[in-house]
């Protein structure tokens, strides 16, 4: 099973990350754990067939976006070593959360972030949630 995440960029969606899942719906061991954008669209592909394409929402409060970590991304500096370090998100963010996409549920886990790699385009936040489980 594959999960394709698209980020919104300049009013359009472009492919951001391609995740692989095993037959039980858990993320593959060799997959790099990288957070996905807060505002995103996704496609779920099983045996080369797209079984879902679209947006989702939080099952508790019906909100769509994933939480983000505030970080002053306008001050990112490639010559600063700290922008390449793994940082821990604030503890007030939930450790994990479920999102509903049609009849499919996805569990997102809070992970460390690297400001230089994980900042969202055009705002002062970093991505901190990675999909780790898909339930069909």
Q: What is the DSSP string of 3-20?
A: EEEEEEETTEEEEEEEEE
What are the structure tokens assigned to 107, written together?
A: 């569990």
36, two tokens: 């996905």
pTM here is 0.85
> Could you tell me which of 88, 110, 87, 102 has the C-alpha nearest to residue 38?
110
Q: Identify the pLDDT of residue 133.
A: 94
pLDDT by 10s per residue, the chain, length 136? 999 999 888 888 899 999 999 988 998 876 678 898 888 889 999 999 999 998 877 666 666 688 888 887 666 666 666 656 778 888 999 999 998 888 889 999 999 888 777 877 666 788 899 999 999 8
Q: Would you state the pLDDT for residue 11? A: 81
pLDDT of res. 15: 93
């Amino acid at each position: 099973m594959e999960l394709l995440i698209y980020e919104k960029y300049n009013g359009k969606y472009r492919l951001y990350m391609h995740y692989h899942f095993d037959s039980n719906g858990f993320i593959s061991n060799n997959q790099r754990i990288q957070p996905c954008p807060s505002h995103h669209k996704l496609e779920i592909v099983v045996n080369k067939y797209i079984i879902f394409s679209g947006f989702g929402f939080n099952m508790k409060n019906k909100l769509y976006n994933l939480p983000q970590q505030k970080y002053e991304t306008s001050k990112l500096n490639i010559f600063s070593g700290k922008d390449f370090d793994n940082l821990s998100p604030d503890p007030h963010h939930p450790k994990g959360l479920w999102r509903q996409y049609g009849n499919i549920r996805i569990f997102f886990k809070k992970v460390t972030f690297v400001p230089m790699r994980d900042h969202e385009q055009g705002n002062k936040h970093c991505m901190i949630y990675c999909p780790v489980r898909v339930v069909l």
